[in-house]
Amino acid sequence: MHTIYLDNNATTRVDPKVFEAIKPYFTELYGNPSSMHRFGGQVGGKIREARDQVAHFLGCDAREIIFTSCGSESDNTAIRSALEAFPEKKHIITTAVEHPAILSLCTHLEKKKGYEVTYLSTDEHGRLDLEEYKQAFRPDTAIVSVMWANNETGNIYPIEKMAHIARENGVIFHTDAVQAVGKVDINLSAIPVDMLSLSGHKLHAPKGVGALYVRKGLAFHPFLIGGHQERGRRAGTENTTGIVALGKACELAQTNMEAENTTVKALRDRLETGILQAIPHTRVNGDPENRLPNTTNISFGYVEGEAILLMMDQVGICASSGSACTSGSLEPSHVLMAMNVPFTFAHGSIRFSLSRFTTQEDIDFVLQTMPSLIENLRTLSPFSEEKEAPAITKRFAK
């Protein structure tokens, strides 16, 4: 059975060019990059090249890049570093729609360390209120952490404006750009972002590598303490293959940025429009004007997302539910609930996320398959057009 992979916000296929670039570092060039001998030294040189590639892609200095193991480590390092730099400050600003890498850490800091966290709200399209944001600052605010783009809806947030406001208030600004990198033009030399997290496997590098940008001159405290690697800012022998891959992936992402915003966006729009036209009681969740070009989050009323995913899997289509069904919970997505999406629609939400490897044939197959799939599930649902449904659900039905 052919696999239609539309779950690229979860992880991406390693680009064959990236794979070719890293193969020698498994079996031939396996020296420790910190070694004094030339065999290891040549690997150290390749890491420097990868650091230059990442820095060039982000518009910053190579010395401002710290390689990590993933986006979550980068996020944890950024927030913990800011709190350690300003131990007298006990307040954090973030949003209610962040990735668990931020939300779970903030909850931990509240419960275990006595910090106070302001969670910015959103409107029904997932947009932030900048006036609420301006009012959230306090004299003891240590850091603001706001994602550049939402992993579930694809919403793009006004990071440049928010970073300027944080700078005016003398507060460190961090952004989790894991979903934005490779799809949104980022030039860190032009905006006052202090720290930025990214992850390799979201842009066609392997899992297990990430990076943290730290603006030059910013007080920094390492999360992992030990060896001298990364100029003493992140201990542990470097993940050579991952780092080389990340450098190559950034180079390729720069080349493919236009295609992401034209070709991939056109496929996303065709998928979205086709589903909305063919299937009644559907709605798109998110900001219609500011979204990632590869993402659409669609709610199918009167049916559960978990059941949709299982049926899609039977025909080879991979996507994600907007709810936490896959983790065994029946609670809908915290992102959609923050947007006040009606419960029965939030429960039936599916995130389709495309990549530059998605084809026209993939989209055609999904459009041919989804109408009958949803129709069959609705015949089994306790709610339908003919049956009584919660009033709040009817209000949003198309």
Catalytic residue status for 325: yes
26 close to 337: Cβ distance less than 8 angstroms: no
Q: How far is the C-alpha of 53 from the C-alpha of 183, rounded, in Å?
A: 17
Best CA proximity match to 344, nearest among 376, 387, 315: 387
The type of residue at 172 is I
DSSP one-letter code for 331:
P
User: How is the beta sheet containing 141-145 ordered, strand by strand?
Assistant: 65-68, 210-214, 195-199, 172-176, 141-145, 91-95, 116-120
With left for phi above 0 and alpha for psi between -120 and 50, is residue 231 left, alpha or beta? Answer: left
Count of Cβ atoms closer than 10 Å to residue 290 Cβ:
15
Q: For the chain, give the number of residues.
A: 398
Q: Is 325:306 a contact under the CB 8 Å cutoff?
A: yes
Give the position of tokens 């990868």.
50
**Paired tokens of 35:** 């070694």
Give the distance from CA 121 to its chain's centroid.
19
Active-site residue (options: 60, 70, 106, 325): 325
Closest CA relative to residue 189, chosen from 161, 165, 213, 223: 213
CB neighbour burial string for 13-48, b if at least 16 within 10 angstroms, e if fewer:
ebbeebbebbeebeeebebebeeeeeebeebbebbe
Q: Which residues are catalytic?
A: 325
